Amino acid sequence: MTERLTATPTGIATAARILRDGGLVAFGTETVYGLGGDATNPTAVARIFEAKNRPRFNPLISHFASAEEAFTQVQATPLARALAERFWPGPLTLVLPRAPGSTVSDLAADGLSSLAVRVPKGDAVLALLHAVGRPVAAPSANRSGRISPSEASHVLEELDGRIDAVLDTGPCAVGLESTVLDLSSPGRPCLLRPGGVPVEALEALCGPIARPETGFDVAPLSPGRMLSHYAPSLPVRLNATSVGPQEGLLAFGPHPLPDAAVTWNLSSEGNLEEAAARLFAGLRFLDSQQQVFDLTGLAVQPIPAQGLGLAIQDRLNRAAAPRPTEPDAP
Ligand code: TXA
Ligand code: MG
């Protein structure tokens, strides 16, 4: 059952407690309703993808109560600070290099070295984010492929029973997602998604903005951008049914394949949510064991093609994809 909370101090405190405990709460921002979870908790983030029925992982926007808090998670440039000063709270998302001490989980950032941050507008949402005191990951609160909700009742139509609560903050003023601006690489800022703040308003402050001709909203998956994804340095072999003594094993389920040099089980109980939450940590761990065990590659046991399994498979397919020999500069 999804609890419907009102935007009163009690309702906001309840919503904050659920989020801090790893639960999911949808809440209104000035753009659309977001499906919020603690961005530092990979299990909460896995639940977001599960609730949305997303066939693949996407990098999520982390939401904050203030620019100061947002800028603890990313390396803010003077331009980023100027844009924040002018447009936050408001419908602008900035993509910046992650700060070395960033606490946002790899699953929320989809393993990228950059992070999308935003301070939304609205008294209730800001009070909520302040009470949570952690980055809150929030994609639009619809099932994958459906229309973004701009009222609490729309959220319930899509997600009733799949999330813990919805904080009813009334209808959204903008009704269209935030503008996503990439400031993560040196040079000209790049528009990744048109949205609530017109590009012209941004250009008045930061000069010409590059606009990719195609692929709005898919930029992180375009070939150039895939290079900045975290991929293990070892070659990855999928759907393994046996494993060699110089391979690291990413196992799944109660029967990890024998003979691997080193094993990381995504979920010994065969739970896909747990597997999603442990995926990036597992890839990093096995990669870190390369020298220790003289590994030549990583083998991955089959993952069921259902629910979050599809998203896990998608991410592993990308990790196993052929890589260019000379990666571009990040
Ligand atoms: O208005 C909004 O932005 C809403 C409300 C809830 O805040 N949120 C939203 O989130 O639209 P979502 O997950 O539906 O869209 C996030 C967009 C996607 O296009 C994603 O690819 C992009 O932001 N994005 C997130 N992190 C990124 C990154 N590190 N680099 C490039 N793009 C990123
Ligand atoms: Mg969306």
293 is a domain residue: yes
* 243 contact partners, CB below 8 Å, separation of at least 6: 249, 257, 258, 259, 260, 299
pLDDT band at 46 (very low <50, low <70, confident <90, very high): very high
286 shares a domain with 308: yes
pLDDT of residue 230: 62
Record the tokens describing residue 222, joined without a space. 């375009």
**252 shares its domain with 173:** no
pLDDT of residue 171: 92
Please name the amino acid found at residue 142.
Answer: N
Q: Has residue 221 got a pLDDT over 50? A: no
84 and 124 together in one domain: yes
**Does one domain contain both 86 and 138?**
yes
> Could you tell me if 137 and 268 lie in one domain?
no
CATH number at residue 102: 3.90.870.10
Q: What ipTM describes this predicted complex?
A: 0.98
Atom 8 in ligand 1: residue holding the nearest Cα: 139
Atom of ligand 1 nearest to the CA of 218: 21
> Is residue 169 situated within a structural domain?
yes
47-60 pLDDT per residue, tens: 999 999 988 888 99
pLDDT at 306: 86
Residues 252-282 pLDDT 10s: 999 999 999 999 999 999 999 999 889 988 9
Phi, psi of 227 (to 5 degrees): -60, -30
Alpha helices in 160-266 (DSSP H): 199-206, 223-226
Q: Which domain holds residue 299?
A: 236-320
The answer on 220 and 142 residing in a single domain is yes
- Ligand 1 mean position to 315 CA, how many Å? 18
Give 177 Cα–ligand 1 centroid separation in angstroms.
Answer: 8
What does the alpha-carbon distance between residue 152 and residue 194 come to, in Å, rounded to a whole number?
Answer: 24
Query: Domain check: are 112 and 204 in the same one?
Result: yes
pLDDT for residue 155: 95
The amino acid at residue 32 is V
Q: Is residue 231 part of a domain?
A: no
> What's the rounded mean pLDDT across residues 224-230?
46
The ligand 1 atom nearest the CA atom of 118: 7
Domain count, the chain: 2
- Residue to mutate, 159, 177, 216, 225, ligand 1, most ligand atoms under 8 Å from C-beta: 177
Residue 217: inside a domain:
yes
**Residue 63 belongs to some domain of the structure:** yes
Give the pLDDT confidence score for residue 27 in this predicted structure. Answer: 98
Task: Read off the pTM.
Answer: 0.87
pLDDT (tens digit, 9 = 90+) per residue, 68-90?
A: 999 999 999 999 999 999 999 99
Nearest CA to ligand 1 atom 13: 139
213-235: average pLDDT:
54
Do 57 and 127 fall within a single domain?
yes
Mean predicted confidence (pLDDT) in 225-229: 44
Name every protein residue with a CB atom under 6 angstroms from any ligand 1 atom.
29, 31-32, 34, 58-61, 91, 93, 95, 112, 114-116, 120, 138-140, 177-178, 180, 182, 192-193, 217, 219-220
Euclidean distance between CA atoms 71 and 93, whole angstroms: 13
The verdict on 97 and 161 lying in the same domain is yes
Same domain membership, residue 279 and residue 190: no
Same domain, 206 and 267: no
Q: Is the pLDDT of residue 186 over 90?
A: no
d(CA 302, CA 279) in angstroms, rounded, equals 14
